[in-house]
Amino acid sequence: MGSVQIQCTRCKNVFRDRAGRLQDGYSRQCPSCEVVLFFAEDSQHPFIKRAMRNARKARKEMREAGAAGLAAPEPRAAQSRSFAGRTRSAGRED
């Protein structure tokens, strides 16, 4: 959920950008019509407002997931079936 959908104010085409980038003062060019979109918290355009709101929400969810990941211990990676019975020997004699 690291990206947000953005609808162009001119051509109405939908494209994606990372939520971390979409902050106050960020500008991005539409990939289809090449108009420059300026992202501001106090924008009057509903497409820009929606993108900024979704980006804020996505950044919050990523922060919460990161905090929960630090609090909980990581589970050990599951071993494949072919590796499950093998153990590493201390010394090997040839």
The answer to whether position 9 is within a domain reads yes
* 36-39 vs 26-29, strand pairing mode: antiparallel
The answer to whether position 42 is within a domain reads yes
pLDDT computed for residue 66 by the predictor: 83
Helix (H, G, I), strand (E, B) or coil at 17: strand
Contact 38, 6 (CB under 8 A): no
Question: Does residue 1 register a pLDDT over 80?
Answer: no
**What average pLDDT does the segment 32-61 reach?**
94
**What average pLDDT does the segment 5-17 reach?**
94
Residue with tokens 């104010």: 9
The answer to whether position 23 is within a domain reads yes
Instruction: Work out how many domains the chain is built from and give that number.
Output: 1
21-36 tens-digit pLDDT: 999 999 999 999 999 9
Domain containing 47 equals 3-69
The answer to whether position 55 is within a domain reads yes
The answer to whether position 40 is within a domain reads yes
The answer to whether position 80 is within a domain reads no
Contact 54, 62 (CB under 8 A): no
The answer to whether position 29 is within a domain reads yes
The answer to whether position 45 is within a domain reads yes
pLDDT computed for residue 35 by the predictor: 95
Contact 39, 51 (CB under 8 A): yes
Question: At residue 3, what are phi and psi to the nearest 5 degrees?
Answer: -125, 160
